[in-house]
Amino acid sequence: MGRHPLSLVMVVLAIMLLPYGYTWKEYRIRRSIDLSAANPLISDTKLPTDLVPSGYSLHLHPVLDRSIFSGRVNITLLCAKATNQINLHAHHDLTVDELELEVVRIGEAEGGTKVPIRRVDRVPKKPLLVIYFHDALTAGAAYEVRLRFVGNIWENVEGIFEGKYKQQQSTGPSEPAGTESEGVTEPEEHSFIGTYFRPHHARRVFPCFDEPSYKVPFNVSIVRPRTHHVLFNTALERTVETGDGKHVIDVFKQTAPMSTFTFGFLVSDLQQVTPSLSDEKEDERLKPTIRVWARRDFQKNVADVQQRVKLALRKLQEYWGVPLPLEKLDVVALPGFSYVKPADNWGLIVFKESELMRGYYNLAQELVYQWLGSWITPHWWSDAHVNKAIAGFLSADTAIKIDGGDEFEGKYPMTILYSIYYEFSKRYPHSRITAMKQETTCSKTELVLRMLNYTLGEATFRRGLQRFIQHREYKTFYGEDVWEALTKQAHLDQRLCESVTVNDVVNSWITKDRIPMVRVVRSYANRTATVTQRLYLRERPHDVPEQDKMLWWIPLVVVRQDRLNFGNVSTIRWMKQVREVTLDELPGPDEFIIVNPEEIGPFPVNYDERNWNLLATFLQKEESRTMIPVYTRAKLLHDAWNLAYAGDLSFGTAFNMTLFMKYERNHLVWNPVFTLIDHIGRHIDMSAVHKKFEMYVRTLLTPLYEELVGNQQESEEMWKANLRSLAKNFLCRAGYKPCIEEAQRAFKKWMDSPDPDAGNPVANQFICPVFKWGTREEWEFGLQRVINFPESRVKSERTYLLKTLAGCPSQPFKIDRLLNIMVLEDNGNFTDNDISLIFKMLSGGSSGYSTLFNFLKNNWDAIKLRFKDRESLWDNMINSATGLFTTQEGYDMVSQLYVQHQGEFGTAEHIIEKSLKNIKEETKWSDENLPVIEQWLDHFLASNGVADQKFLG
C-alpha cells in the first residue's frame, strides 16, 4: 500500500528522480477510501430519484470451489413520484433471472399485489437494469422488487473476490498453536472469499441503488462451508442448517442504515487472535468489541493489534466526543490481499498483512472512516476529497498523539507538502498523470485543514468538527457542511470575525490547482514590511493565463528574532484575497523575522536579501541554530533554493542558506537538500561551473557521511541508515574515492565468478559507481551480462542493469558503444522497449543526451532508415536527444540540426520545435544564474581550502 518508507535503494532512486525527493508512494501515508469523482461510470449512471430504497433483504451463496455465487435480493422502495420504470444498478457481469423477477405493491394484500411488468432491459455500455411497467407506479405507495442473480467470483476484481494462502498443517490438540510438529511436510492450502465494494462495486454482486446517499438497513444471510466462518458488517444472529451436511446459512443482525459501498463480508477459516486476560476484562467495558483475525502462522505478528486498535479508538472517541455506535468491530489481516487500500466496511476492516505490522496511522485512518464514510457519508463522490482529507489529518494527529508518530520518522506533513509545492508550481499541473489530480486535491485539502487547526486553534477546530457530525448519524453530508460547522464554532469562540467564513478561506485554496508565494520586503527604518502574494511557479516560462487574478486567503504568522516563540502561532494578519498588506511594529534592522513558521500554511515565503542574510548568519551559530525548530530550518532551506530555481531569489543568497549544513545533522533538514542539489546539478552539468559545484557538494557531504559512518551502530534509527546511504550515494556520484574503490572490489567478485550469468552477487548500490567511474572492461562486462541474460532469471534484474549501463556513465565512448549495438547493428537481444528505455535514461544527464545528440547527427541517414516504420522510437529519440540542453551552445547545436534536416523530422517535427523553445528559456536561465553560481562557488571553495585527494574527476 506504500504507507511506509520504501527500501533504501528505492528511496535513493526516488530522490535522484524527483526534484523534491519524494514520490507519491514513498513515505506518503496513503488513505483507504477512494471515492473517485473522475470515474465516468459513476457520474454517467446516477439513478433518477422517482423511487427511493428503504431496505434490502439479501441472501448470498458464494461457492468457493467453483468461483461463482448466486443469490436473491428483495428491495423495498417508496415511490416518491409517479413513474413507469424502476432503474437499478447491475453490472454487465451479473446475470439477473428476468423470468423470476417480480415487483409487488406492499400493503394491499397479504404478500403484496404483483405489478405487471412490460419488459426488462439491460442498458448497453452502462451498468443499469431497467424494469418497465404498463401503468405508472403510484406516488406515496411502497413496492418490493424481488430478483435472483448469478455471478462469477474473480481474483483481484472489485465486488466479490477470492484468494488462497498456505500455512503449516494444524498441530494436535496437545500442542500449542505455532509448535512445529514432527511429520509436518507440505503446507495446507486454504481458500477465502471477500468483498471490495468501494466506491461503486456493490452492483457487481446484486442489483441495487449503488449510490452513497441511499442509506438503508440490510437483512443478510450468507451460505458458507462448515469448515469456514463468515465475518459481516454486523454480529451473527443464528445459524441454519441447509440439509446437505456440508454447508450452513449464517443469518446476521439487521444493519443500521448504510450505503451499499460499506457492505462487506469475508468467508474464511482465519482464526481469532486470542486476547490477553487484561484485554478480555477491558472488552467488557469497551464498545465496540474488538476482534482481530489472522492465519495461525501470522498471529504472533499481530498480537498487539487489538491493543493498538483500542488505544486509537479511545483517542478518536475523545476527539469526536461521541462513541462509535458499533456492537463489534472485526479487524482482519488477510494473506494475499492484493488491493492497494484496505476494505473498510461498516464494522469490518480487511487489511493486507503487512499493513498491520506497525504504527497507528493505518488503524486510525480506517477507524476514522467508520465515523466519516460509514456512519456519516459523503452525499456524492465529489465531496469525498473532504472526507478523505479529514481522515488523513485526524489519522496523523492521532498517531502523533499516541507515540509521536514514530512511523513517520518526522516526515509528516513535509512529504505531501513538498509534493504539492512541486506539482502546483508546474506550468501545467497534472498534465501527465490525471489520476494524480484527485490525490493532490485531497492532500491540499488536508494541508488546509492543518492550517485551520493552527489558525482557529486546536480546541475550536475540534469543537467545529464535533458540531459537524452532530445530528448526522446514519445520514449524508456535503463538503460545505464541514466548513459551515467550523465557521459557526469559530464565530462562537471569537476566533474569526463575523464577516469572514471558513468557506471563504477554504474555497480560495481548494478551487485552484495552484498555491501562492508570499514575498516579504521590509522597510528597516520604519520597522514595517510590505507583504505581497502571487502565483508560485518554478517552471519557466512563467506564462500561466490569468495568474494576476489568482488570490488566496493567507494567514500571516510571524516569529521575530527579539521574541523567539514558535509556540505562539496566532495569526497577526489575514491577507483576505488582496494583493498586498503592510505589517507594522517589526523588530530592528539587525533582527530577522520568519513568516509562516513550521509550514503552518502550504505556501513558500520569500524575503528581501537582508532578512535572508540575517537568517543565514543566525543558523551558522550552534547556540542559536537549535533555537529554530527542525521544520522551520527545513522550510527556510527549501524555500530559498526553490525560489532561486524559479528566478525569484539570487542563487548567492540561496547558497548562503546552505552554509549551516556543515553543522546540521537532522535528516528532515537534509532531505530536501539532497534532491535540490541533484536538481541544480543536473541543470548545470553541461557548463564549466559543474565541476566546481561537485566540489561544493563533496565539501558539504563528506563531514556528514564520515561522521555517520564513524558512529554507526548495529541497532540504530532507520533515518540514520537512510541518511548515511543518501550521503554515500551522492558522494559516489561526485567521485568519492573510498566509495568507488569499495564498489569496484564488490564488482570484481562478479567478474571473477565462474558463471557470471547465473546471478548478480553485487548489491545494486555498487553498480552505478562502477559504470560511471570504472574501466571500459568493467562496463563491457555489464553489457555482456545484458546480452547473455538467461531467460530463467528475473527480468527486472536485466532492466536495472540496462538502466545503469546507459544512465550512469559519464564517458561518451561507453554510451556510443551501447547505441551502436542497439540502433545501428540492430542487435536482436534488444527490443524496442529496451531502446526506448535507453533513450529515457540518456536524458538524465548531459553526458547522455549530448552523446545521443552527436550519435543522431553523425548517423542521421542510417537511423532514419532503421526507424522508418518505428515512429514511436524516432519520436522518443528526437525528444531525448534535443530537449534537454540548457545553454546557448546547446541551442546552436540543436538549431543547426533543425535547419540542416528541415522537413525530414516527420512525426517529430513538433518535438524539435518545442525543444528549441524550451532551450531558449533554459538558456536565459543559465545566462542569468550561472555567473552568480560560479562567483559564489569560487569564493566558497577558496575560503574552505578544498582538497580533492579523495575524489575522482
137 beta partners: 83
Between 287-296, 333-342, 786-795, 919-928, the lowest mean confidence (pLDDT) is in 333-342
**Which DSSP category does 216 fall into?**
B
Question: What is the rounded (10 degree) CA torsion for 238, 242, 247, 252?
Answer: -20
Question: What pLDDT shows up at residue 765?
Answer: 86
Question: What pLDDT shows up at residue 128?
Answer: 95
In 185-281, which ranges are E strands? 188-196, 218-225, 229-232, 236-241, 247-252, 265-268, 271-272
Q: Which residues of 10-25 are buried (b: 16+ CB within 10 A; e: fewer)?
A: ebbbbbbebbbbbbbe
- CA–CA dist 213, 42 (Å, integer): 13
Q: Within a domain: residue 734? A: no
- Mean pLDDT on 300-307: 93
Q: What are phi and psi of 468, to 5 degrees?
A: -60, -40
For residues 763 and 620, state if they share a domain. Answer: no
Q: Taking the CB of residue 213, how many other CB atoms lie within 10 A of it?
A: 15
Last residue of a domain, one of 209, 239, 269: 269
Is residue 421's pLDDT more than 70?
yes
- CA–CA dist 910, 919 (Å, integer): 14
- CA–CA dist 531, 559 (Å, integer): 15
Question: What pLDDT shows up at residue 112?
Answer: 79
- Mean pLDDT on 86-105: 95
- Mean pLDDT on 919-935: 92
Question: What pLDDT shows up at residue 181?
Answer: 44
Closest-CA residue to 519 (of 613, 653, 628, 640): 640
Nearest-5° Cα angle at 282, 279 to 287: 115
For residues 758 and 833, state if they share a domain. Answer: no
Based on the number of CB atoms within 10 Å of its own CB, is 272 exposed (0-12), middle (13-18) or buried (19 or more)?
middle
Last residue of a domain, one of 664, 689, 705: 664
Q: Within a domain: residue 437? A: no
- Average model confidence (pLDDT) across the chain: 88
- CA–CA dist 12, 678 (Å, integer): 11
Say whether 472 sits in a helix, a strand or coil.
coil
- CA–CA dist 176, 174 (Å, integer): 7
Question: What pLDDT shows up at residue 176?
Answer: 45
Helix axes of 436-456 and 414-424: crossing angle, nearest 10 degrees: 120
pLDDT band at 15; cut points 50, 70, 90: very low
- Mean pLDDT on 547-568: 93
pLDDT band at 19; cut points 50, 70, 90: very low
| Helix/strand/coil (H/E/C) assignment for every residue in 706-751 | HHHHHCCCCCCCHHHHHHHHHHHHHHHHCCEHHHHHHHHHHHHHHH
**Structural domain harbouring 819:** 809-952
Q: How far is CA 88 from CA 41, 58, 210, 470, 801, in A?
A: 14, 15, 8, 32, 53
- CA–CA dist 420, 451 (Å, integer): 15
Between 23-32, 334-343, 698-707, 827-836, the lowest mean confidence (pLDDT) is in 23-32
How many domains does the chain contain in total? Answer: 4
**Which DSSP category does 354 fall into?**
G
CB 598 within 8 A of CB 566: yes
Q: Which amino acid is at 847?
A: S
List helix spans (H) across 570-688: 609-619, 622-625, 630-645, 651-656, 667-684
Residues whose CB falls within 8 Å of the CB of residue 451, separated by 6 or more in sequence, listed in order: 555, 600, 601, 602
For residues 99 and 244, state if they share a domain. Answer: yes
Nearest-5° Cα angle at 738, 733 to 740: 45
- CA–CA dist 475, 23 (Å, integer): 37
Helix axes of 502-510 and 436-456: crossing angle, nearest 10 degrees: 150
Nearest-5° Cα angle at 80, 74 to 84: 75
Residue 589 sits in a domain whose CATH number is 2.60.40.1910
- CA–CA dist 829, 69 (Å, integer): 47
Percent with pLDDT over 90 in the chain: 66
Is the pLDDT higher at 153 or at 7? 153
Q: Within a domain: residue 723? A: no
Last residue of a domain, one of 269, 303, 319: 269
Q: Within a domain: residue 818? A: yes
Is residue 951's pLDDT more than 50?
no
pLDDT in tens, 166-195: 887 765 444 444 444 445 567 889 999 999
pLDDT band at 287; cut points 50, 70, 90: confident
pLDDT in tens, 494-525: 998 898 999 999 999 998 889 999 999 999 99
Q: Within a domain: residue 841? A: yes
Residues whose CB falls within 8 Å of the CB of residue 600, separated by 6 or more in sequence, listed in order: 450, 451, 454, 455, 555, 557, 569
For residues 56 and 121, state if they share a domain. Answer: yes
- CA–CA dist 79, 76 (Å, integer): 10
Is residue 306's pLDDT more than 50?
yes
Cis peptide preceding 5, ω within 30 of 0: no
For residues 781 and 899, state if they share a domain. Answer: no
Q: Which residues of 33-68 are buried (b: 16+ CB within 10 A; e: fewer)?
A: bbbbbeeeebeebebeebbbbbbbbbbbbbebeeee
Say whether 145 sits in a helix, a strand or coil.
strand
List helix spans (H) across 151-304: 277-285
Residues whose CB falls within 8 Å of the CB of residue 766, separated by 6 or more in sequence, listed in order: 742, 743, 746, 747
Between 229-238, 483-492, 725-734, the lowest mean confidence (pLDDT) is in 725-734
Residues whose CB falls within 8 Å of the CB of residue 15, separated by 6 or more in sequence, listed in order: 21, 674, 675, 678, 726
- CA–CA dist 619, 452 (Å, integer): 29
Q: Within a domain: residue 826? A: yes
- Mean pLDDT on 648-657: 95
pLDDT in tens, 195-220: 999 889 999 999 999 999 999 999 99
For residues 164 and 135, state if they share a domain. Answer: yes
For residues 783 and 813, state if they share a domain. Answer: no
For residues 785 and 900, state if they share a domain. Answer: no
For residues 522 and 626, state if they share a domain. Answer: yes
Q: What are phi and psi of 307, to 5 degrees?
A: -65, -40
Is the Cα dihedral 647, 650, 654, 657 positive or negative?
negative
Q: Within a domain: residue 650? A: yes
- CA–CA dist 17, 3 (Å, integer): 20
| Helix/strand/coil (H/E/C) assignment for every residue in 75-135 | EEEEECCCEEEEEEECCCCCEECCCCCEEEECCCCCCCEECCEEEEEECCCCCEEEEEEEE
Question: What is the rounded (10 degree) CA torsion for 858, 862, 864, 870?
Answer: -120
Closest-CA residue to 733 (of 808, 658, 679): 808
Question: What pLDDT shows up at residue 435?
Answer: 58
**Which DSSP category does 563 fall into?**
B
Q: Within a domain: residue 768? A: yes
pLDDT band at 337; cut points 50, 70, 90: confident
Residues whose CB falls within 8 Å of the CB of residue 840, separated by 6 or more in sequence, listed in order: 876, 880
Residue 204 sits in a domain whose CATH number is 2.60.40.1730
Q: What share of the chain is helix, strand, coil (3-state, %, to 5)?
A: 45, 20, 35
Lookup: cell for 169: 498443517
Is the Cα dihedral 586, 590, 591, 593 positive or negative?
positive
For residues 657 and 769, state if they share a domain. Answer: no
pTM: 0.86
- Mean pLDDT on 536-542: 85
For residues 759 and 834, state if they share a domain. Answer: no
pLDDT in tens, 131-151: 999 999 999 999 999 999 999
Helix axes of 305-320 and 458-469: crossing angle, nearest 10 degrees: 90
Residues with active-site annotation: 366
For residues 642 and 538, state if they share a domain. Answer: yes
CB 925 within 8 A of CB 648: no
